[in-house]
Structures are given as structure tokens and as C-alpha cells.
Structure 1
Amino acid sequence: MRDGVTRQNGTGEAAGSPAGPDDHGWDDSLYNDRAAAGRHTLPQQADGQDGASLRRAGERAPRSRRRRILRWAAITVSLTILGTAGAGWAYYQHLNGNLGKGKRSSGGSDVAKPKADSKGQTPINILLIGSDSRNSAADLKLGGSKQSVGAKPLADVQMLVHLSADRRNMSVVSIPRDTRVHIPECEDPKTHQKYAATTNSIINETLGRGGPGCTLDTWQNLTGVYIDHWMMIDFAGVVQMADAVGGVEVCVKQPVWDRPLPGVPGGSGLKIKAGKQKVYGRTALQWLRTRHAFFDDLGRAQAQHMYLNSMIRQLKSRYVFTDTGRLLGLAETATSALDVSEEIGTVRKLGDLAMQLKSVPSNRITMTTMPVVQDQQNLNHLVPKGADAARIWSMIRNDIPFDANGKAKTATGGTSGATPTSSAAPPGPSAAPAATIPVSVINGTAGGSGIPVSGRAGALAKTLADAGFSKAAASPTQQPSAGTVLSYPAKDGGQGKADALAVAAILKLPKNVVKKSVQVSSITLLVGADWRAGTDYSKTLPSAGSVPSSARAINGSDKNACMDVYKPYVW
């Protein structure tokens, strides 16, 4: 078990993701390039001659199908900084045993799964976590100091991958590790130790307070986004994959050497010339870890996004995984490095997930970082940047693409999700007379920024009262929320839903914000950070491609992205 994750049949604990030098004293000399490590060979089956029997042809078909699945499983690796692949059925159980598995959730969050669209599909949200654990010999071999053994792991890399309901676009959002957040009460699934909720901790501490499930619940509460799965990885598998695909192209505008400077210890050791070039093995690892030379954690996230986009393009343009031996070597490395939430804890399930990602073209993939500002409570920390961060999460919740390369916009401003409240009467009971429906309005506009909009609940309660909902009233309490939610009591069933939809129609709220809840006693409108002004919610919905500039978006088709280097690290 590692960080609350169970590994059933592996040969030992997998390495955590390398920590930054300023975290645990990284020693790059401990890492060696292993371009050919872990490769396997399988007996070759002779090609059938003309007139070969149908039986032999039938034997080859399943293998061909498995190879297709494995190839796209490998593409999933690059899309999400993770690795998964499989091979023949005899090898299948071995790879399943390599995978670590853990509870999806270990904290408190009541964010509901979104409703399916007209085709029965929902978006898929996956939280990717890079752990800096140094609690095994394998971890220490990758780097770090002995003094770090036994320390609680930190989740220094966190990214949310959003695959749209129509499976035509993908959005990725990173959150900087030093972002101060509200962490709910969590229980460590390994020790069963409980950790009290806190508002004064940074997001990378969540992993040590209850494992990946605590990190997931913290994200859900922060963003209002339901997260289906988590995956926790180390960088070693990604680095070896760089070799497997023949290197990954990166770019710097100036020659860079990320090294210790007077008064600034650490540094990844990255030393490359200016311009475009491919990186392999150790250099690829250094690229992913570089922070100082790229100014800060925001720069490091942008460099990681550039690396991933480049790897995706390379995978899409070349059939690098048709070599069975190379593919199996990657599978061995990847599954040994990967921990997943238990509901996707088999190679087959990961392969199925990969197949859903395969049709997303490069120009429909967008990588971003959550907009942040300096935390005035602690200038070494960050907090979400008000309206900009709220826009990002609104786009994810409403399944609005980060790119504008898809279909034309709908009336609500998006291309999928965000379905407006229909004027047609829904099946079931009719809404009660407006004057008989009590509605509580709560100001949650502090979500994401910490700064509420004064009088927001009262303003919307008045709008409802003017429309005939005379029992609408503003709550005296506040409840910070990233997104707006209209809840009705679960005990009221169809009647409660009909009444809630009548309220939604007045404010032009989309159906996907209407939820049943066991935690409310009457219809409750929680006004989130995504709706800080106005009385028509539909006007707040972002349009496709309207990602704020502060999110530092990089499109997957951008081959000219290039990193600026902080002047002290130019050589």
C-alpha cells in the first residue's frame, strides 16, 4: 500500500513523482536514461499464405483488435501524463496486478454527477495527481534525500482532464501546488486517521491528509465539478515514454540552465540550447521539473502542457506502438507507475477509457492553468482569481469547449451541455402556484475569490418575488460556491422538481444546475461565483473558446509554442 493505495500483485511499491529540488533535495545524478528498459519480446506468428484457413484468420483478428486498443491506451498516457497498455491475455493479469488501486473519495463533497445528454452520455472528468513520495527504495533511487523518508506525500502536480460528453474535445486545467484552498474533513484509507477540515492549507497537502480521494474531494468543492476518477503517477514512466516515441519536441527562446544560484538553491539541471529540439530520458524529466528558469510554478505548468501537447501530436502522427516489444515494455513501466481509483482498476477499463479519447483531434485539445492571484493572507501562496477562475469552472461544468474549433454556438453560448430550461412542460406533476413555493436564496459568490458580492441574495430574491414567488427570501448566511445550484428536497420527488424548474425558468437557469438534495428542506438557490451580477443566468454562460488570457491556454495543434527563460538562468 502506498499513500492509501493498494497494489495487489506488484513486485514492490512504485516510485512517486520526483519532488522539486527545493522540496526534498533532488540529485539528478541518481537518474539514468533507460531508453530500452523493460522491453519484452513475444514469439512471432508466421504470416498465413494465400488461401489460409478461416480459422487462422480468425485467430489473428483478436490480436489485431487488442493491439488497436493498446495503441490508444498508450495515447491516453500522453494525454494525461499517465501510462496504460496491455498485451496478450496471458500477460493481462500480470499488468492488472501492477496497478495500484484506492478509494475514489475519502473526504466530504456533495457535488452531483451531471445528467446525461440526449444520447445518454456525460462528460468524463479525471483528476491527475503527481506524488512526491519518497517512502520506498524505488522512490529514493529516482531522487530525494533520506531525510524525506516517512514524510507525508505532497501532490505537487494536479491536473483535471475534461472529456466532453460528445467526445469531440478535451480541456485540461492545472492548479498550482501553492494554492490555498478549503480542505474538507478526510480520512486516510490506510491508517483510518481523520483530519479536520481546514481553510489555511495549500492544495498539495491534500494527498497527505487522506490520499488521492481527499485531493479529489477538495477539487470538487473548489470547482463544483463532479470528478469521475483519479489517477496518480510518477514522472519516470512519462520519461521512458519520451524515449519510446523517439523523443518529445520542446522549445525555449533562450538557452537555459536551471541550476543553483546564490541565495536560490536547487534547480532541475536542465541545460539545453535555444530553439526547438527533442528531449529524451533524463533531459525530459528535467524539463518537466523545471520551475526557477521558467519563472515560477505557473511557468512550470505551461512547460508541462507544451510537452504533453507535443507528445500527443507525435503519437498521432506516427505509429510508434506497432512494435510489440516496445509496447509491452511501455505497458510494464506504465502500469507499475500508475495508481487509479478502484472503479477503473483494470487494464481493460483503462483501455476502454483510452478508446473514448482517440477521436479528439489535436486542435480540440486545450491545456490551461487556473487563473490565480497572490494570497493576501500569505504572500507565498495563491488563491483563485475571481471572475477568471469562475469562468474556467463554469465552462467545465457546462461542458463548453475551451477551443472554438467545433460546431457553431448554441443559443446559450456553448456547444454542448448548458441546456436551457425548456418552455415545454416536463413530464410529471405541474408546478404549484408560484405564491405557494418557498425559495431560500443563499449568497455563495465568495466561492473561488473569497470576496462576496454584497446584497446578491437579496437582489435575486426580489427578482423572484416580483415574478410571483412571494415566499422567496434571502438567507442571512453565506455559503461560498464555485457554481450556482438550484436544489429541491429529495423527499418532494417529481413535485419538487417541477417547482424548481418553475423557479429556474424565471432566472433562465439551465436544467443541469437543478439538483435534488437530502440537505435542503425547501427549494434553495445557491448563487455561485459564476453569477456575480444580473438576473438572467443564461447571459453569464461563456462561449466556446472564451478562456481568459490569465489561464495561459495552449492549443494542442500549436507547434510554435516556446518558453521564455528567466534571465538569471540564460547561459
Structure 2
Amino acid sequence: MSDDNAGHQGSAGEFRRERSQPLPPHERRSPRSGRLVVPSAAVRRRRTTLVLMSALSVLVLLASGISWGATAWVSGNINRSDVFGGLAEGERPENETGALTFMVIGSDGREGMSSEDQDALSVGSTPGERSDAIMLVHLNHERDRVTVVGVPRDLWVDIPGEGEDKINAAYAHGGPQKSVQTMEELTGVRIDHYVEVDFTGFVDVVDALGGVEVCLEESIEDPKAQLDLAAGTHEVDGAEALAFARTRATPRGDLDRIERQQQVVAAMMDRALRTDTLSDPTKLTSFLESSLSSLTVDQSLDTAALNELGHQMRGLDLSAVDFAQVPIADMEHWTDRGDVAVLWDEPAARDLFADIRADRPIDGGEEAEAEGGDGPGPSDVPVRVFNGTASPGAGSELDDQLSEAGFELTDRAENWTSRDLAGTQVRHGPGMAEEAAYVSGMIPDSEAVEDDTLDGEVQVVIGFDYTTFDAPGTEAEEGSEGSPSGSPDADSPATSTAEDNICS
């Protein structure tokens, strides 16, 4: 790719990297002495900035500890795409918490790969592109905790304008924009930034780190992926790490695959932080060049944004990175077209994404409270119900359910100003977005709406799409049929930290 075309987008949609003016770290020298100018290891450790390791380790592009001095060079070597330009702002979810959510995509595009490379990496030669790995990476408002949610690529969803399909097909239908639009409509979570990397970039990053350590309880043998690992701990190179992260030759298929991807992410972060990759200028430059060469991000993730996030996130460590995955109800859903897809557990998934929208810890247990989670409970939310439909008694019935769940009712239910409201609304005044999101998470398909005239209460306005109220804790306590497993933790996703996921 010629530098003459740097910074421009080709007609076919390819993004050409603009070579930035700042020099890489190992080429910076003092104008007086001529010696290398390298910040101390302590400074580099302290000043954590976003290093986009890969779509599987971007983990928030966060905990790699390079110095701020390299940020401009880093930023200038990243490909950028106008991901959000074609999305109607009024149709997108709002972000009222100050948190940031990244959509991280591992693309399976083979364009530009030789047949020899395709064979070596066992990725096949399928034309076109789909999202091979999908993660939501949520950075909380305080910038001291990261939540990574793995999304099965075969999740059966409604792709806007295209109909039902597996979620990874959204990329094939409309690239990054369609992927973001699908995820936002599916979860109600606003996507603030987008990060994408391809196969080659992932392999190069692992190799630049000198390999990573992975471990497994049972052996994996997948001839198609050229992967044969016995139970135990293994040091793997980039190609082996890619096969380890992509194989589905295990009993739980996509779910096991997400767990392995998260293990590789943690291993990459651990290796970057523990070795001299970040303190040796030459190794750091090699690592960054490998990380950035096949990376695409949204246009707003510029040098200023990287600097700001790096400053805010200094000191983040592996124990502050939580992993989870979308709760699943059916791993073998036969579609109308005759293939197998994955269905999520809607009530549990709603709760998960309600927590993310409200910037709350996602484990839902005593650990979240011990770590300072101060999300609202029923007794903290004053509520009033209005019936916006022609169905008599709907408001009074919801009144009773809210009261039994422990909510404070500010007055009895009344009819709304109209009786033909299509969608259920959870209305709230300024400063009560978290409480409204909490209530909205218990009412399927409801929408949180800010109303500047409200003060001190949340109003639930029932629309024709209203079906049920999922009282907090009922499925877990009663083991109801609505919960696919009936287990105590069925409505709370299993979580682990990056520290838990490293083998040693």
C-alpha cells in the first residue's frame, strides 16, 4: 500500500493508514546528547494508555502501560473508519452515565492473505467478511473497572433491515455500521467506540509478545484448525493461539470458545505487563507496530481521546477486568432455513444489559456490594404507574406487583393522557437515569425516556407491547420455568476477572 494515498478511503471501502509525523519510541533522541529518550519503567507503568492489542485483547485497549510520549505515534498508525456517520442519532440509545462501551470485532476477512498464509493459519478461503469474534467492553464512569461481555457469533437475532440471521452476518450485510446498529438495538446499550482487527493482526500481536501461556482441563484435537493440545499448560505462538481461540471442537461449542478467547485476552495482557515488552523501546515499537497494522477504529478514537483515557485509567490491573458472556437458553436452535443457531436467555440477558446501561457491576451478588456497587434497589425507587392502553386494570395489576417487590408507590395507578401508547415507557427526570434503567430492565421491551418536568419519581407508562413485570430475584429464588436452568444463579451471569483467567 503506497503512502501517497495515506489517509484516504478507497472506493472499495479499504482504509489506508496515514503515516504520522511522530517518531516511534526507539527513534527518539535528545537534541543535546543524542541519546535515546525513554521514560522510566515506573513512569511507563504508571501512565497506562490504550494499546489496541487486537480484537481479542483490546480488552479495552487498556492495560498495556505504554508512555504518553508514544501516544501520537500510536494514534497515527491506526486505520480509522466513519463507523457512526450513517446512524440516525435520534434512533440510538442514550448514554447518561459517563461510562464508555466499546464494540470489539475480530473480522474473518481473508482479503490480502496468500493461500499459503490461509493454509498455515487454517482459516480457509471463504470470500467476504463476517465478525468472527464479538465482545462488548464496558469501561465504568470512574475508569477503574472494565467489564468484557462475550457474544456468541451464532446468536440468532433480528438484523435491522435484513430480518433474522446470526449476529455475525450483520457485518456481511453492512460492515461496522450494521454491526453497531444491530448490537445497539439488541441490547439497548450505546456503543461509544468501535475496534476491529483481522486474523493476521491477532497472530502478529501474540508473536510480538513472544507467545502466551494457555491452559485447559481437557485435551483438544481439531484437525481442521490444526490444533492438538493435551490437557495442561502450554506456551503457544500466534498461529496456535488463533487456533485455540477459534476452535469449536469442544462439547459446548461457541460458549467454550468465548471462554478460551477471554483466557487468551488475559494471557496477552499478563504477558505484556509482566515482561520487558513495555520497558524495552525496541520491543515496545515492534509490539505496537504489530498491534496497529491491521487495526481499524472509529474516527473519534483520536490522539486526544487516547491521551484522556490513558490518564484516567492509569493503575488499572488484571483484577479490575471482569469477564462474562451473554446468558444462553438454547445452543441448538434449528432455524427456518435449516441450520443451527444460538438463542439467548432473554430475562437474564435483559438484566445483564440493564446493569451495563446503568453502569452497575454485573455479578449481582455480595461481591458487587463489597466492591462498592451502589446501584438502586426496589426501596430506593419511587414509582408511579399510568395505563396508556385500553386494557382496564393493567395499571392496578402492575401497582400490586411493584408494591410486592418492595418499590415505593407515590400514588395509585391512573390512566395516561392517551389510551393508544404503542411502547411501554419508563419516564424519569434528570438525575434518575440509573433508577429508570433499573426498572426498565424488569419490563421487557420498555424504553427509558427522560422528562425534564419530573422530579423525584419514576413513571411507568404501560403501552400495548407490555407483557410482564419480572420482579427482581423471583426467578432465582423460585427456580421458575422462565429460567432455563432453574438454578440460583440463572439470572446472574457467571463472571471471572482477567487475573482469574491466567494459568499461573
TM-score, scaled to structure 2:
0.71
Please, which of 197, 208, 212 is the counterpart of residue 233 of structure 1? 197
Moved more, 159-168 or 351-360: 351-360
Residues of 2 paired with 1:256 and 1:386: CA distance?
31
Tell me if structure 2 keeps the 8 A contact 1:386–1:529.
no
- Tell me what 1:391 maps to: 351
The Cα offsets for residues 410-469 of structure 1, whole Å up to 9 and x where unpaired, read as 7xxx4358898677xxxxxxx9xx9xx9753799xxxxxxxxxxx977733788999344
Q: Deviations over 1:145-175 (max 9, x none)?
A: 89644x3x21121100111112232211111
- The equivalent of 2:155 in structure 1 is 179
Which residue of the partner structure matches residue 470 of structure 2?
Answer: 533
Q: 2:177 aligns with which of 204, 209, 213?
A: 213
Summarize the Cα distance change of 1:270–1:538 in structure 2 as closer, same or farther, 3 Å threshold: closer
Structure 1, unmatched stretches of 5+, are: 12-38, 49-55, 117-121, 185-196, 260-266, 424-430, 444-454, 489-496, 563-571
CA distance, structure 2, for counterparts of residue 527 and residue 371 of structure 1? 27
Secondary structure, counterpart of 2:18 in structure 1? coil
Name 1:80's counterpart in structure 2.
Answer: 59
Which residue number corresponds to residue 486 of structure 1?
A: 426
CA–CA separation in structure 2 for the residues paired with 1:504 and 1:284: 42
Letter matched to residue 133 of structure 1: G
Q: Partner letter of residue 99 of structure 1?
A: N
Cα 1:62/1:539, change in 2 over 3 Å: farther
Aligned to 1:128: 104
Q: Residue 515 in 1 paired to residue 453 in 2?
A: no
Mapping of residues 328-477 of structure 1, within 5 Å: 328-344=285-301, 346-372=302-328, 373=330, 374-375=332-333, 377-378=335-336, 380-403=340-363, 405=367, 408=370, 414-416=373-375, 440=388, 459-460=397-398, 467-472=411-416
Change beyond 3 A, Cα 1:371–1:528? farther
Deviation at 1:107, TM superposition (A): 4.6
Q: Within 1, Cα distance between the matches of 2:53 and 2:354?
A: 25
Q: Which residue is equivalent to 2:3? A: none
- Going from structure 1 to structure 2, the CA distance change for 1:357 and 1:339 (only over 3 Å counts) comes to same
* Number of corresponding residues: 451
Percent sequence identity over matched residues?
21
* CA distance in structure 1 between the partners assigned to 2:269 and 2:461 by the alignment: 44
- Per-residue CA deviations over 1:519-552 (Å, capped at 9, x if unaligned) read xxx9845699997334xx799999xxx9748845
In the alignment, which of 94, 114, 126 is matched to residue 95 of structure 2?
Answer: 114
Q: Specify every segment of 5 or more residues in structure 2 that has no aligned partner in the other structure, as ranges.
A: 1-8, 403-408, 453-458, 478-487
Q: Distance in 2 between the 1:533 and 1:422 partners? A: 16
Structure 1 residue 61: deviation in Å?
8.5
Check conservation: 2:426, 2:440, Cα contact below 8 A: no
Q: Secondary structure at the match of 1:166?
A: coil
TM-score w.r.t. the length of structure 1 is 0.64
Distance 1:462 1:325 in 2: 66
Partner secondary structure for residue 239 of structure 2: helix
**Alignment match of 2:139 (pick from 156, 163, 166):** 163
Output the CA distance in 2 between the equivalents of 1:398 and 1:217.
20
1:558 aligns with 2:500: yes
Judged with a 3 Å threshold, the aligned counterparts in structure 2 of structure 1 residues 165 and 82 are, in CA distance, closer, same or farther, namely closer
Residue of structure 2 equivalent to 1:317: 274
What per-residue deviation string (whole Å, max 9, x for no partner) do you get for residues 460-502 of structure 1? Answer: 37889993442238967765xxxx85247xxxxxxxx49x99x
Alignment check: 8 A CA contact 1:421 1:508 kept: no
8 A contact 2:362–2:493 mirrored in 1: no
